[in-house]
């Protein structure tokens, strides 16, 4: 599995540690590449475009809170970015929402915890019951038509 990863300056150290833990995955790093201050949208949107174009199978995006990067990613059509804070949310992000990007707070989560949440997500399966499929279809229809 190929995972794209992006971050801002506040998540740089966590990303470095996380990449070492993700040795079972092929990693594509979309930046940033230091702890020097940067604007997160550049990196989050770059990652989202690569996920949308299927250059990577899953996106991981991090900033201090995970909130800003998740908002940015969700501006890109066909992106379902879930800000995940615990193991239950990681599982639900896949089973209920079929997320294609996971957003994490680098200040609230260790690299080890983020790795475990990624593994839980990847070991879960999207629930294809009609209620879950219909909800995703409604979001995608709204992206295209501005109606449900």
Is 63 tagged catalytic?
A: yes
> Contact, 8 vs 61, CB < 8 A?
no
Active-site choice (9, 50, 73, 96): 96
pLDDT in tens, the chain (148 residues): 999 999 999 999 999 999 999 999 999 999 999 999 999 999 999 999 999 999 999 999 999 999 999 999 999 999 999 999 999 999 999 999 999 999 999 999 999 999 999 999 999 999 999 999 999 999 999 999 988 7
Active-site choice (32, 63, 73, 81): 63
């Amino acid at each position: 599995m190929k995972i794209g990863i992006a971050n801002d300056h506040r998540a740089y150290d966590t990303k470095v540690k996380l990449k070492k833990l993700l040795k079972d995955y092929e990693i594509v790093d979309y930046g940033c590449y230091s702890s020097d201050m940067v604007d997160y949208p550049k990196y989050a949107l770059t990652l989202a475009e690569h996920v949308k174009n299927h250059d990577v199978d899953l996106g991981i995006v991090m900033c201090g809170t995970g909130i800003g990067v998740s908002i940015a990613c969700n501006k890109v059509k066909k992106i379902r970015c879930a800000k995940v804070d615990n193991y239950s949310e990681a599982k639900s992000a896949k089973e209920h929402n079929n997320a294609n990007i996971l957003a994490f707070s680098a200040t609230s989560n260790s690299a080890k915890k983020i790795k475990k949440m990624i593994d839980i997500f990847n070991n879960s399966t999207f629930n294809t019951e009609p209620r879950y499929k219909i909800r995703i279809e409604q979001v995608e229809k709204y992206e295209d038509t501005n109606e449900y």
